[in-house]
Chain A
Amino acid sequence: MLVLKGTGASAGIAAGRVVVRAADAALPAEPPPGDRQQEAARFAAALADSKRQLAEIAQAVRRQAGEREAQIFAAHLAMLEDPLLAGAIRAYIERDGLAAGQAVERAVAELAARFLALPDALLRSRADDIRDLGARLLRNLRGQADAAHAAGRGAGAVLCAEDTTPSEIASLDTEQELGVVTERGAVNSHAAILARALGIPLVIGVQDACHRLRAGELVIVDGASGEVLVEPDQATLARYAGWRQTPTAAAGDDSPAVTLDGFRVELAANIGSVKEAAAALAAGAEAVGVLRTEFLFLDRTAPPSEEEQFQAYAAVLRALAPRRVVIRTADIGGDKEAAYLAVPNPQPELRTPHSTFRTGENPALGLRGIRLSLRQEEMFRTQLRALLRAAPFGNLAILLPMVCDVSEVRRTKELIGSVQADLRRLDLGPWTSDLGRIGLGVMVETPAAAVLAAELAEQTDFLSIGTNDLTQYVLAADRTDPAVAEWYQPLHPAVLRLVAATVEAANRAGKWVAICGEVAADPLAAPLFVGMGVRELSMAPASIPAVKQAIRGLRKADAEVLLSAALKSKEAAEVVELLSRVTAD
């Protein structure tokens, strides 16, 4: 059995027959070019069709995923009508006499190349969006509807392509297509964000996938581990069959996940918007393990007001009550940049014309998370005030990102104390009496926090292990860089040993401990976390049913034996091998 290794970009298990989409998906031939006027009219019609389709997609995505994901397509609409895109295409037709299709291809290629040359990674990724728009215009020029584009994939298909686009992910019929495998792509691309929101397993960065996978081959796609298993044997298939479950199968099932020998693991949801609270409930989440608050801070020109934040936090708390909702304070910086917070580069020698006011050459190691919050104290106080005011509406716990040691916890506690004093002085409501029961926890995502877990556990109410960043920092592998994807291994023994030691430190201190990275959504990895004694696994809502089923088939005693073997492994491949062997029994 051949195993292709890529990067998991959207967790979940899919098994199906490969459908390869060539880079230039077979489009019907373009009709022979007409005169300039005819070509301009054809383009105008294709543009109108494209705009209508994008508006429809935005609406469908808003229903299925949420407002934030829908905004990707609203932005596409604005780009489509831009003089540099639609305007350039018109000029190529009317001034240079190009056929409409040629004009689109040329304008898109030129524009994408200009964005790819920019120093800012986020601006660079706009090239993917522009190419997506170009492909849509070409399909419309040749009279190929989205539905026809999708036809031929059929039920039970795993789509394999050089790269995918937000449009393509949004067009997938989640009942029919089971998963997507690509050669290129990035974990934080618009396409990957959408796949996660829609619960479509996606593995990116599989080198030469379109040639190594052949149409019709049976594959298992593991969107958490990033593996594609080609023509798996019966035992492997049977093992995955139990987990490959449509999320709807257990939707609304909020009965707990308990192992055969009675160890209970709370299954919680990671959510990134108020709307996703409903998805969390529908998937049977027992709590919210992380509400990422970045949605309030990004893509805008000024930080959100206290009132806006208060409304959002109160809405989520109320929707989930009495379930616990862990709200993480803003994790801006790193790959999530808020332009209004850009700070001068502290190292003048590193200055380039573009980086003078950016956060440095290595944003993942820069001013982000709690570091930025403590530096932007007024903004942090505003968020803390909003959180404390919202607390009476439900069961709130506050989580701090990117902590290295107790000094950041201490400073945050001082701030919380001062904000509480303000609120009491103002005597503005009933919340003052409830302040004592708000939990404060830290993300364990820096190696420093993992090593100092015992000290952090002593000073806080809970630890939440963010395995995505922990993996990236322990293995020094940028998770957004496909070139080092094979080094980014959440099941690497170096990562697992730190995670296990952190869990042990928390349990010894009698503190709650959760795993909230994407590996928490991997049913294959569940025995490891059960073996460690993790109290909570927090994941995308769509992954909850599969993980619940995996846990129900385990014995904690067996999981402990497996874990001790995994912790003695010398490399990630050994861990994966162990997990495959044991769970196949």
Chain B
Amino acid sequence: MVSRTVTILNRTGLHARPAALFAQAAGCFSATIRVLKGSQQADARSVLALMLLAAGQGTEVTIEAEGEDEEAAVTALAGMLESDFDRDDTVGVERSPA
């Protein structure tokens, strides 16, 4: 089993649509993946479970994966939570020609 604890850096946290994107990404791996927040845990493929974590920006969560592609899964999903794509996107807009 592989696990990594990350602080949710993207401004979206794991609410609504980000939860759906995260669950979709988790569905790409064969490993069993869980997200833990304090004493709560969620199946990473369940949008409802992720929303129930009510994990906003700055929340510390642990991603656990067990299975063939556990290493890749944890790396990819942790990367999602740690990326600040909000800021990247704004910069991109400013650089693009009008």
Contact = CB atoms under 8 A, between A and B. Distances in A.
Interface string A380-394: 001001000100000
A85 B47 CA distance: 10
A305 B96 contact: yes
A357 B58 contact: yes
Contacts of B16: 122-123, 299, 339
A306 B11 contact: no
A299 B20 CA distance: 11
Interface string B15-31: 11110110000000000
Interface in B19-66: 20-21, 43, 45-49, 51-52, 54, 56-58
B37 to A, nearest CB: 10
Contacts of A382: 90, 93-94
Contacts of B12: 301, 339-340, 342
A85 B20 CA distance: 15
Contacts of B89: 302-303, 305
Given A123-B54, A341-B11, A358-B56, A79 B47 contact: yes
A335 interface: no
Contact of A340 (B21, B45, B54, B86): B86
Contacts of A306: 93, 96, 98
A117 B82 CA distance: 28
Interface residues of B, number: 32
Contact of B21 (A123, A301, A303, A305): A301
Given A302-B85, A423-B98, A340 B46 contact: no
Nearest to A115: B52
A78 B20 CA distance: 9
Nearest to B13: A339
Contacts of B13: 339, 342, 357
Interface residues of A, number: 43
Contacts of A341: 11
A123 B56 contact: no
Contacts of A301: 10, 12, 17-18, 21, 85-86
A378 interface: yes
A555 interface: no
B43 A83 contact: yes
Contact of A120 (B21, B45, B54, B93): B54
A84 interface: yes
B46 A84 contact: yes
A84 B41 CA distance: 12
B83 to A, nearest CB: 10
Given A79-B47, A82-B47, A339 B98 contact: no
Nearest to B57: A357
Contact of B58 (A78, A339, A356): A356
9 contacts: A120-B15, A122-B15, A123-B15, A126-B51, A301-B10, A301-B18, A305-B96, A340-B11, A379-B90
